[in-house]
Structure 1
Amino acid sequence: MFRLIAIHIFLATVVCPGMGCKAQTGPHKFLLALSKANHTLAIVDPVTLKVITRIPVGEDPHEVVASTDGKTAYVCIYGGGSFHEINVIDLVAQKPLHNIDTRPLFGPHDITFVQGKAWFTAEGSKAVGRYDPATGKLDWSMGTGQDRTHMLHVTADGKNIYTTNMSSGTVSILTATVIQPGNMAPPGAKPREEWMQTVVPTARGSEGFDVTPDGTELWTAASEDGAIYIVDPGSKKLAAKIDAKVFGANRLKITPNGKLAVISSLKTGDLAIYDTKTHQEVRRLKLGKGAAGILMDPDGSRVFVACSADNNVAVIDLNTFEISQRIDVGGTPDGLAWAIRH
């Protein structure tokens, strides 16, 4: 097993012309990939696309995120909405640290790291929760009242939360407003946050979604009717619908430049690529039997897709729309994330 410090030295000095790679001279970046069958978190070298190590995690891991400093990973242990655990992983020492008990919130599924805190959906409790690593406690939660609150996006300021609710066929928009103490408030009273929810109807099976880089559009795809629904976060209303016929749609991600939307199908194994301006299909690729988790390369050159039914992660060149490689990260891969260490 390579130690990360050795990998740092390797990536900073090696050049691999046969693969067209360049030496890393800036932040050190690692691909994180979950295997649901093997119950492991794989750390992958993004240059060589080789697995550096595999770290054990709990049963039924679904989504993963790294802390802002790239030193810690958080893995949601889902259990179909019945489990109540998030695994904390030391990415430097490459070992498990401890588990977060999310009760009374059940079924942690998707997770993101914003404003120094881990925010997650709790599908079994129809809610969103937040964990503060500084205090080691859950410090906030809010119910959506929607069935299967599944995927999550939190704006950089932590003031807006978007979720898809699969069985309800809706998108929740949660917005925080700071309320100042009134005239009748006791001395020393502090401002408080008040959260409001707007529910936007889409279609059953709305699951994977993403927000454009400028924050003006939220794209989600519904597995049941195969359509793409575009929500305007400003007006909090449905803005458009595309009859994409991506049946079994599982995940949707938008490229860093905001030009393309990439949708995976767990039912057909297709990867549909749409132009976000024209709303037209650009390309449709057959990846295998079933495609799930999607992760964009920060430079926009590649997209990684977890082909769960085929037990590999496909690497697609976004310039040629061709599969350049497949990575074996373990059986039934799903959740993918970047860990970037400065």
Structure 2
Amino acid sequence: MMRTRLPTLAACAALLLATVPAHADDVLALDRDGGRLLVIDHATFRLRHTVDVGTGVHEVIASADGRRAWVASYGSAQVVGHELVEVDLADGRVVRRVDTAPLLRPHGLARAGDNVYFTAELNRVLARFNPAEGRVDRIYGIGGDLAHMLELVPGGQQLLTADMLSGTVSRLDFRAGQPAPKLTSYRVGDKPEGLAVRPDGREAWVGLNGEGTVKVLDLESGEIVATLPAGSYPARIEFSRDGSLAFVVDPEASTLLVFDVATRTQRHAHRIAGLPLGMLPGARADRIVLSLVEAGAVVEVDVETGEVLRRVEVGQLSDGIALAETAAAGR
């Protein structure tokens, strides 16, 4: 009789570990006044790490492999910030602090390849931090006053800034392959802040705090093709992963607005207590994750009903949030 040799328990365990990612994606949240980065397991909504990064931190972004994060130290009313803080997400520690001076008040963040781009509000420039070299190696004048939010157009060769005091959106286009990008400025209206690009790269949606509208900017023609009523203060905009829905938060009214992108019509207006601000798509298509500035929390919300499904307390003045996609990296 033939005998089949059974695998040992250790071999089974090794096989299991080899086939299951070491960790799921992380939600990165900021405690602005407390000066902390909070690393939250996206699947379980449980806190993994709390990292002291410095006061006045406004925005955060993750590396392509989900192993590192960069935090923009914007500062406060009394202190002008000038740092990018790099964090190792595996063990929750600060790796290095990059002094961006004389570039002051770094805010909007975007990643193209391995490089991190940031707006320096007081300098009217966009700059590039090269992690491999550990320095800021490119500075681009944009001319827009108070360039706040920053978005990368799909394809990785165009960047957009929302210039709050100029009433413009600036586009830096690197597609020609020249050392200096082509700079184009689009006048969009009063106090643009919220900014998001459709996943297909065709349109940018711009929230105008001074008008209570969202303008739809066609990125091929450079024309405003639609104006949508959007509460009183449409401070942030985000798209669903498939691009079918657009989400707009109005922190003044503590409201989440849900738009159908194809028809450009509003589907829902959900009251979310605690002043929502930061946004990112949820783990499921019918979920969205929000930071609550006043409540100091991060919540997962049902897109259709507006029900808060899960919640994590993160401290005072929760601001920017981001997703570190780590499952593919097998951290």
- The normalised TM-score by structure 2 is 0.88
Residues 146-295 of structure 1 aligned to structure 2 (within 5 Å): 146-178=144-176, 192-244=178-230, 246-295=231-280
Q: Displacement, 1:281?
A: 1.0
Per-residue deviation, residues 115-145 of structure 1 (Å, max 9, x unmatched):
1101111111111110111111111111111
Quick one: percent identity of the two aligned structures? 28
Residue 201 of structure 2 aligns to a residue whose secondary structure is coil
Letter in 1 for 2:105: G
- Relative to structure 1, the CA distance from residue 233 to residue 298 in structure 2 (aligned partners, 3 Å threshold; closer, same or farther) is farther
Per-residue deviation, residues 16-71 of structure 1 (Å, max 9, x unmatched):
xxxxxxx9758731111111121110111112211112100111000001111111
Q: 4+ runs of 1 displaced by more than 6 Å?
A: none
Answer whether contact 2:270 2:305 (CA < 8 A) is retained: no
Residues 87-102 of structure 1 aligned to structure 2 (within 5 Å): 87-102=85-100
Answer whether contact 2:158 2:175 (CA < 8 A) is retained: no
Query: Do structure 1's residue 56 and structure 2's residue 52 form an aligned pair?
Result: yes
Residue 106 of structure 1 aligns to a residue whose secondary structure is coil
Alignment partner, residue 128 of structure 1: 126
Answer whether contact 2:109 2:150 (CA < 8 A) is retained: yes
| RMSD (CA atoms) | 2.1
Q: Displacement, 1:285?
A: 0.8
Letter in 1 for 2:223: K
Q: Displacement, 1:280?
A: 1.3
Answer whether contact 2:258 2:303 (CA < 8 A) is retained: no
Gap runs ≥5 in structure 2: 1-12
Query: Do structure 1's residue 329 and structure 2's residue 306 form an aligned pair?
Result: no
Q: Displacement, 1:263?
A: 0.7
Answer whether contact 2:116 2:130 (CA < 8 A) is retained: yes
- Relative to structure 1, the CA distance from residue 214 to residue 323 in structure 2 (aligned partners, 3 Å threshold; closer, same or farther) is same
Provide the C-alpha distance between the structure 2 equivalents of 1:268 and 1:319, rounded to a whole number of angstroms: 19
Answer whether contact 1:287 1:314 (CA < 8 A) is retained: no
Per-residue deviation, residues 171-226 of structure 1 (Å, max 9, x unmatched):
111112546xxxxxxxxxxxx42312111111222111111111111111111211
- Relative to structure 1, the CA distance from residue 298 to residue 110 in structure 2 (aligned partners, 3 Å threshold; closer, same or farther) is farther
Residue 151 of structure 1 aligns to a residue whose secondary structure is strand
- Relative to structure 1, the CA distance from residue 178 to residue 214 in structure 2 (aligned partners, 3 Å threshold; closer, same or farther) is closer
Query: Do structure 1's residue 45 and structure 2's residue 31 form an aligned pair?
Result: no
Q: Displacement, 1:104?
A: 2.5
- Relative to structure 1, the CA distance from residue 238 to residue 126 in structure 2 (aligned partners, 3 Å threshold; closer, same or farther) is same
Residues 97-112 of structure 1 aligned to structure 2 (within 5 Å): 97-112=95-110
Provide the C-alpha distance between the structure 2 equivalents of 1:328 and 1:115, rounded to a whole number of angstroms: 32
Letter in 2 for 1:221: G
- Relative to structure 1, the CA distance from residue 158 to residue 104 in structure 2 (aligned partners, 3 Å threshold; closer, same or farther) is farther
Gap runs ≥5 in structure 1: 1-8, 14-22, 180-191
- The normalised TM-score by structure 1 is 0.85
